[in-house]
Structure 1
Amino acid sequence: MRICFVLNNVREENYNTSVVLMHTAHKRGHTVFMMDVGDFNFTHDEPLSIHAIQTPKSIKTKSAKKFIEDVKKANLKKKKISAKNIDVLFIRNNPTEEIERQWAEHAGVAFGKMMQQEGVLVLNDAYALSHAFIDKLYFEELPSSIKPDSIITRKKEDILDFFKKQNKKMVLKPLEGSGGKDVYLIDENEKNLNQIIETLLNQGYVIAQEFLPDVKDGDVRIILMNGQVIERDGKYSMIRRKMGKGEFRSNFKQGATAKAVEMNKDFQKIIEVVAPKLINDGLFFVGLDVVKDKLIEINVLSPGGLDYFNEIDYPDFGDEVIDAIERKIAYKEMHGNHLSNKFLATMA
């Protein structure tokens, strides 16, 4: 299998979920390519092409951390490859990190659509990613029974009205963003409320969300594949993210620590409610953020978390993900062009 990972910047890539998956595919003997989101090439009347580096077969590291270090040390040169010579394109660049490169925000998804038209299996399905591109807005398409109360608006008065209805305690965050950046817990003692609202409104739409007291215990990141939680030897692809004292944002980029967590009825219900839509939409690899019995966010654009499972003595589940992709390619080869990319993307 020839699999290419679309990243923000290959040279700046560090140990993360993408690296876990690339390392796993490499160990299993697949040909692994890495490309920047700016490495697509379109020429009229020719197949789409990419510029990518190929991970050398000589790299034999057991550790994903050492793997990416060795790849970068090798100072590999990119080579031009036709889409016809790629089996899988895994779109893993994070548009929310492209603050200074606005052109890069939509490029992965836009060219991903063109790669699908060339017959390449694209994960997640590029049309599904386009639909769910603002994942916090996509989140609002899910049933209200599993979500906290919220509004999305650019009107200050609506935010203040919501604040009153929530007994003067709420969470404010930008509609587009990730990593826990610019997320505020607002209560009646907040003296800079107007300034915070104005700052967020200057960035675009704002989400005002019901505050969930159980966030004191952190949140749980659940990784879903084909609409199901991954399981190995009784351990599930779920991890609790616990912040330190005085912090309510449970995000690894903000310093959260990893804790083991058991499957329960609340988590299972949320998964059962969300799964049909993810499968129908073609979203293969997705992250859910859960506080007790409420889903607070859904991550479809480069969801992470696999790189933290080793901290709780869990498998990183990379083998299960690559297994699933191998099966999709086998189905594709058996059925030719009769199965759509969207269908294959979430076919178990």
Structure 2
Amino acid sequence: MQGTTSLFITDPLESLNPKKDTTILWMQEAFTMGGQIFQCEMSNLIYKNQQTFADFSEIQDPNHHPQISCKVDKIQALKDFDYIFMRKDPPVNEDYMNALHLLSQAESEGANIINRPTALQKFNEKIFALQFSNWMPDTSVICREEDFKRFKKKYSTIILKPLNGMGGESIYKFDESSQDHLDIFKSLTNNHQTMVMVQNFLPEIYDGDYRILIIHGKPFPIALARIPQEGSFKGNLAAGGKGEARELSNDQVKVSMEIGKLLMDEGIVFAGIDMIGNYLTEINITSPTGAREILLQTNQNPIKTLLQSI
């Protein structure tokens, strides 16, 4: 990274938590390796004069002041940065998709964008996992009430979640059938118009929801097991889960290598898959996290491994 320029497209800097955020760790590692660090938001992307540009700021010392940036007076074509890292968190809404369209245009102009914007456009993180359904719990993608009732009859406990959520938001666990649950389903599906995902509940969640980082098609040897706290079934750190670094099991390595081949074919250099026990639940490609916690607990650095491989 010596002498390189890296542009990070992120949420507002002040919203990032330096103690936990993988993107800030990424900036710090790139800076330590000799690179210049720049940042912008999706709204700072511009197309004019037959090129795609960014109006951006420089983070001059990400190791000590990662949330302090200095506005750069000129805009710059995206193709003139050595690396562009798309690290905007979901939701994957219209604004996000429009930014990806612009980034795809920039890629056609010669910009080097990680992860590849066409892949981010192509795959929904939850539906993407269906390509590996042999590793998944029983899963249905539905919006009709009769399909919801039919799935609930199969299992004593099920999980309901939106297709575009993150951090454990709007995920429900139903142990019984009730009108309240039907009302939640109706609300989450926007009156039975928007698709959602239902799965049989996996009690293995209480031993941890594993975040496995896939770097250039290969799993990092340490995963972050996110363990639900008392009274909760959600392991997500944003939902109060506790992160514990653990070595991968043989099955986790096998699943990761299988998924990694497809990720590389699609230009997805950095991803995070979620596994509960030996079951795959999600493939995260937009803005995977967990690297900071792994580094703090094991002194092994997934982001350094990533940067050394690009």
Return the alpha-carbon distance in structure 2 between the equivalents of residues 272 and 228 of structure 1. Answer: 6
Return the alpha-carbon distance in structure 1 between the equivalents of residues 95 and 62 of structure 2. Answer: 33
1:31 aligns with 2:36: yes
Return the alpha-carbon distance in structure 1 between the equivalents of residues 303 and 160 of structure 2. Answer: 34
Return the alpha-carbon distance in structure 1 between the equivalents of residues 298 and 249 of structure 2. Answer: 20
Q: CA deviation at 1:85?
A: 1.9
Give the aligned partner of residue 181 of structure 2: 193
Deviates more, 1:258-267 or 1:34-43: 258-267
TM-score by length of 1: 0.82
Q: CA 1:164 to 1:274, structure 2 compared with 1: closer, same or farther past 3 Å?
A: same
Q: CA deviation at 1:291?
A: 0.8
Give the aligned partner of residue 86 of structure 2: 91
1:297 aligns with 2:282: yes
1:212 aligns with 2:207: no
Give the aligned partner of residue 59 of structure 2: 55
How many residue pairs match? The answer is: 302
Cα RMSD after superposing both structures: 1.9
Q: CA deviation at 1:94?
A: 1.5
Give the aligned partner of residue 166 of structure 2: 178
In the TM superposition, what whole-angstrom CA distance separates every residue of 1:123-158 from its partner, at most 9, and x where no partner exists? 1111111111x211212122x221111111111110
Q: CA deviation at 1:254?
A: 0.6
Amino acid at match of 2:198: A
Q: CA deviation at 1:87?
A: 1.5
Q: CA deviation at 1:28?
A: 1.1
1:162 aligns with 2:151: yes
Return the alpha-carbon distance in structure 2 between the equivalents of residues 297 and 89 of structure 1. Answer: 25
**Structure 2 residue corresponding to 1:119, chosen from 103, 107, 110:** 110
Contact 1:33 1:55 in 2 (8 A): yes
Contact 2:295 2:302 in 1 (8 A): no
Amino acid at match of 1:261: R
Give the aligned partner of residue 264 of structure 1: 249
SS in 1 for 2:56: strand
> Mind listing any 5+ residue stretches in structure 2 that lack a counterpart?
none
Return the alpha-carbon distance in structure 2 between the equivalents of residues 280 and 267 of structure 1. Answer: 20
Identity of aligned residues (%): 24
TM-score by length of 2: 0.91
Amino acid at match of 2:77: S
> Mind listing any 5+ residue stretches in structure 1 that lack a counterpart?
231-235, 326-348
Return the alpha-carbon distance in structure 2 between the equivalents of residues 284 and 178 of structure 1. Answer: 20
SS in 1 for 2:66: helix
**Superposition misfits of 4+ residues, deviation over 6 angstroms:** none
Return the alpha-carbon distance in structure 2 between the equivalents of residues 252 and 95 of structure 1. Answer: 16
1:18 aligns with 2:3: no
Contact 2:189 2:195 in 1 (8 A): yes
SS in 2 for 1:193: helix
In the TM superposition, what whole-angstrom CA distance separates every residue of 1:139-191 from its partner, at most 9, and x where no partner exists? 2122x22111111111111011011122x311001111111001011112666
